[in-house]
Amino acid sequence: MAPSAYDSESDSSPSPQRRQPWRPTRIHIPNHGELVFEQAELERLRMSMGFTDMDQLVAFIRAPYVIYPFREFIVDYLRGQGPGASNPPSLDAIITLIVTDTQDNTGMFTTHNPDKTGWGPDHHWARFIQQVYSGAQAADSSWVGVSEQDFAVIAWQLLELLQFLARRWLANRV
């Protein structure tokens, strides 16, 4: 029987090494297997959100007022979307939705289990931002009573956070 191409005796030349795809350095946050973060991206997020150290940021992300709205965002929006779903809609559109909801007192983004019929991506992003903001206000009085200008900065920070979490969730879903 003739030796096959897979027999080591039949091929004296070294076999080419299979190159592993490049993977960024990652750290794992215990007890949250779904949340695996790239160090550099996490550091950028920490700085943009104004936390002095990584422990503060991780504690914030693990807070129930972040985890539960993010789980809802996954179930209601992200799970059925492709990789582009982590690209947020316009911050102006999100802020307009939140301000209109607050002024009209409809509670679209603050009530438990609202009717989401006809919601677009901007509604889901706005709901996450408003829920986290409301939860942070309840947990820490320094979030209460901010000006409209300060709220725009906070909304941007929470948009960055959600974009980061959505990218990580989509990347680890595969």
pTM above threshold 0.85: no
Note the pLDDT of residue 161: 93
Do the beta carbons of residue 128 and residue 91 sit within 8 Å?
Answer: no
Is 68 contained in some domain? Answer: yes
Q: End-to-end CA distance of the chain, in Å? A: 43
Answer yes or no: is 136 within a domain: yes
Range of the domain at 82: 24-173
- pLDDT at residue 132, rounded to an integer: 93
The pLDDT value given to residue 19? 47
Would residue 12 count as lying in a domain?
no
Domains held by the chain: number? 1
At residue 33, the pLDDT reads 42
pLDDT for 125 equals 93
Residues 157 and 17: their CA atoms lie apart, in Å, by: 44
In a domain, 156, yes or no: yes
Distance, CA of 62 to CA of 66 (rounded, Å): 7
The amino acid at residue 64 is P
Distances in Å between the Cα of 145 and the Cα atoms of 48, 89, 106 are: 21, 26, 20
Tell me the CA distances in angstroms from 17 to 7, 9, 20, 28, 169, one per residue in order: 17, 18, 9, 29, 31
Q: Residue 17: inside a domain, yes or no?
A: no
> Bridge-partner residues for 26, per DSSP?
38
Helix (H) or strand (E) holding 154: helix 148-173
In a domain, 74, yes or no: yes
Token couple for 127: 């709901």
Q: Establish if 9 belongs to a structural domain.
A: no
Instruction: Tell me the DSSP string of 59-124.
Output: HHHHSHHHHHHHHHHHHHTGGG--GGGGS---HHHHHHHHHHHHHHT--TTTSSS---TT--HHHH
15 part of a folded domain? no
Give per-10-residue mean pLDDT for the chain (174 aa): 47 48 44 54 86 90 94 88 76 91 85 87 93 88 74 90 88 68
**Whole-number pLDDT of residue 2:** 53
pLDDT at 26: 45
Token representation of residue 20: 């592993």
pLDDT score of 82? 66
* pLDDT score at 128: 95
